[in-house]
Amino acid sequence: MTTPTLSIESRIAEELGVAERQVKAAVELLDGGSTVPFIARYRKEATGMLDDAQLRTLEERLRYLRELEERRTAVLDSVREQGKLTAELEAQIRAADTKARLEDIYLPFKPKRRTKAQIAREAGLEPLADGLFGDPTVEPLAAAAAFVDPGKGVADAQAALDGARAILTERFAEDADLIGELRERMWTRGRLASKVHEGKETEGAKFSDYFDFSEPFTELPSHRILALLRGEKEGMLDLVLEPEEPTDGPSSYEGIVAHKFGIADRGRPADKWLLDTARWAWRTRILVHLGIDLRLRLRTAAEDEAVKVFAANLRDLLLAAPAGTRATLGLDPGFRTGVKVAVVDATGKVVATDTIYPHVPANKWDEALAKLARLCAEHKVELVAIGNGTASRETDKLAAELITKHPELKLTKVMVSEAGASVYSASAFASQELPDLDVSIRGAVSIARRLQDPLAELVKIDPKSIGVGQYQHDLSEVKLSRSLDAVVEDCVNGVGVDVNTASAPLLARVSGIGAGLAENIVAHRDANGPFRSRSGLKDVPRLGPKAYEQCAGFLRIRGGDDPLDASAVHPEAYPVVRRMVKQTGGEVAALIGNTSTLKSLRAADFVDDTFGLPTVTDILRELEKPGRDPRPAFKTATFKEGVEKIGDLASGMVLEGVVTNVAAFGAFVDIGVHQDGLVHVSAMSKTFVKDPRDVVKPGDIVKVKVLDVDIPRKRISLTLRLDDEAAKDGGERQGGGGRRERGGQGGRPPQQRGGGNRDRRGGGGGGRQAPPPANSAMADALRKAGLVDPKRR
Say if CB 239 and CB 248 are below 8 A apart: no
Mean pLDDT estimate for the chain = 88
**Contact assessment for residue 444 and residue 353, using Cβ atoms and an 8 Å cutoff:** yes
Residue-wise pLDDT for 366-411, tens only, equals 999 999 999 999 999 999 999 988 999 899 899 989 999 999 999 9
Query: pLDDT tier at 780 (50, 70, 90 boundaries)?
Result: very low
pLDDT value, residue 318: 92
Reference 751, options 219, 205, 312, 203; nearest CA is: 205
User: What are the residues whose beta carbons fall under 8 Å from the beta carbon of 255, sequence distance 6 or more?
Assistant: 246, 248, 249
The string of pLDDT tens digits covering residues 191-249 is 999 999 999 999 999 999 999 999 999 999 998 999 999 999 999 999 999 887 655 55
Which pLDDT score is estimated for 251?
64
- How many other CB atoms are there within 10 angstroms of residue 586's CB atom? 11
Is the pTM above the cut of 0.75? yes
What pairs with residue 330 in β-bridges? 342, 385
Q: What is the DSSP letter of 389?
A: S
HSE-up of residue 82 (Cα within 13 Å, Cβ side) = 15
Cα separation values, 280 from 123, 131, 257, 555, 696, Å: 21, 19, 10, 66, 53
pLDDT at 163: 97
- Residues 6 or more apart whose CB falls under 8 angstroms from that of 149 comprise 123, 124
Stated as kind and residue range, the H or E segment containing 227 is helix 222-233
Residue 787: the pLDDT is: 41
pLDDT of residue 21: 97
How do residues 475-513 score in pLDDT, each as one tens digit?
888 888 999 999 999 999 999 999 999 999 999 999 999
Contact in structure between 708 and 717 (CB atoms under 8 Å)? yes
410 three-class SS? coil
Q: How far is CA 443 from CA 20, 88, 387, 426, 504, in A?
A: 50, 65, 9, 9, 19
If one counts every other C-beta atom within 10 angstroms of the C-beta of residue 471, the result is: 24
- 504/760 Cα distance (integer angstroms): 32
Q: Is pLDDT of 629 > 90?
A: no
User: Do residues 30 and 120 make contact, with C-beta atoms less than 8 angstroms apart?
Assistant: no
Cα angle, residue 624 at apex, residues 493 and 35 outer, rounded to 5°: 20
Structure confidence by residue, pLDDT tens digits, 142-186: 999 999 999 999 999 999 999 999 999 999 999 999 999 999 999
Q: Per-residue pLDDT tens for 679-691?
A: 999 999 999 998 8
**Confidence (pLDDT) at 250:** 57
Give the CATH number, domain containing residue 459. 3.30.420.140
Reply yes or no: is the peptide bond before residue 361 cis, omega within 30 of 0.
Answer: yes
Domain annotation covers residue 69: yes
- As separate numbers, helices (DSSP H) first and strands (DSSP E) second, the chain gives 31, 15
Partnered with residue 352 across adjacent β-strands are 343
Average of pLDDT values for 767-781?
37
Number of domains in the chain: 3
> Would you say 421 and 388 are in contact if contact means Cβ atoms under 8 Å apart?
no
What CATH number is associated with residue 54?
1.10.10.650
State the pLDDT confidence band at 757, using cuts at 50, 70 and 90: very low
Predicted local distance difference test score (pLDDT) of residue 176: 95
Q: pLDDT exceeding 90 applies to what percent of the chain?
A: 75
User: Alpha-carbon distance 387 to 443, whole Å?
Assistant: 9
The DSSP secondary-structure symbol of 109 reads G
The per-residue pLDDT for 248 is 53
**C-alpha to C-alpha distance for 36 and 30, rounded to whole angstroms:** 8
Cβ neighbours of residue 684 closer than 8 Å, sequence gap 6 or more: 666, 667, 692, 695, 696, 719, 720, 721
Q: Is residue 704 part of a domain?
A: yes
Query: What's the pLDDT score for residue 758?
Result: 34
Average pLDDT over residues 757-769: 34
Residue 772's pLDDT band (boundaries 50, 70, 90)?
Answer: very low
Once rounded to an integer, what is the mean pLDDT over residues 285-309?
Answer: 92
Given 402, 432, 467, which residue is the final one in a domain?
Answer: 467
The domain of 350 spans: 328-467
Which of 108, 127, 154 is where one domain is finished?
108
Quote the pLDDT of residue 637.
Answer: 77
Across 167-211, where does the E strand assignment appear?
191-196
Following DSSP, what letter does each residue of 287-326 receive, concatenated?
HHHHHHHHHHHHHHHHHHHHHHHHHHHHHHHHTSPP--S-
pLDDT of residue 606: 96
pLDDT at residue 745 tops 70 = no
The span from the CA of 428 to the CA of 430, in Å, is: 5
Looking at the chain, how many residues does it have? 793
pLDDT digits (tens, 9 = 90+) for 408-427: 999 999 988 888 888 899 99
| Spatial contact of 663 and 309, defined as CB atoms under 8 Å apart | yes
Q: What is the DSSP letter of 346?
A: T
Digit-coded pLDDT (tens) for 8-46: 999 999 999 999 999 999 999 999 999 999 999 999 999
Query: What number of other Cβ atoms are within 10 A of residue 697's Cβ?
Result: 19
The pLDDT assigned to 246 comes to 53
What CATH number has the domain bearing residue 730?
Answer: 2.40.50.140
Where does a domain end: 449, 467, 485? 467
Ramachandran area for residue 407 (φ above 0: left; ψ -120 to 50: alpha; else beta): alpha
Check if the beta carbon of residue 281 is closer than 8 Å to that of residue 172. Answer: yes
pLDDT of 760 over the 50 cut: no
Q: Name the β-bridge partners of 397.
A: none
